[in-house]
Amino acid sequence: MDNMTIDKNRAVPPEEYADLRKALTLISGKWKLEILWLLYHRTHRFGELRKTIPGITQHMLTRQLRELEADGLVTRTVFAEVPPRVEYSMTEATKALEPTIMALMAWWQQFGKAAQGGTQPEE
């Protein structure tokens, strides 16, 4: 496919739609975007993420990080030190995702927000 737009003459492409679903799944965790957001700034330690993200528990943070790691969206580095230290950082895939994330946010701010302005833009 040489053109990044939807082919109006063809029926639904099931496999590509599946890809789309999977891509969404990767970032669908409740805290994943916020974690990635922090990692866009810099590498964080586990405790830093925990303190910075309001409302998250160790358990959830661990789970979300494990999933992100399995999906190649974060890198986990363990330091064999006396007080355990684990650092999480973004990957190439994470970096490549940033423009899309920002585009999604911009889209919401322009269209979604208005639509939710009361379920009806104006009357």
Partner DNA sequence: CTGGATCCCCCAGGATACTG
Partner DNA sequence: CAGTATCCTGGGGGATCCAG
Tokens standing for residue 62 = 């661990």
Residues lying near DNA in the complex (CB under 7 A) are found at 28-31, 45-48, 50, 55-60, 62-66, 76, 78, 83-86
With binding defined as CB under 8 A, does residue 26 bind a copy of itself?
yes
Q: How far apart are CA 75 and CA 92, in angstroms?
A: 10
Rg of the chain in Å (alpha carbons): 18
Q: Which of 40, 46, 63, 87 binds a copy of itself (CB under 8 A)?
A: 40
Which residue in 79, 10, 5, 21 sits closest to 45, CA to CA? 79
* Kind and range of the H or E run holding 11: none
Q: Strands 85-90, 44-45: parallel, antiparallel or unpaired by DSSP?
A: antiparallel
Residue 116 binds what, of a copy of itself, DNA, none (CB under 5 to 8 Å, by partner type)?
a copy of itself
Residue 89 contact, options a copy of itself, DNA, none, Cβ 5-8 Å cut-off depending on partner type:
none
Considering the complex, state which of residue 58 and residue 116 has its C-beta at the smaller distance from DNA.
58
> Would you say 47 or 117 has its CB closer to DNA?
47
State in angstroms the smallest separation of the CB of 76 from DNA. Answer: 6
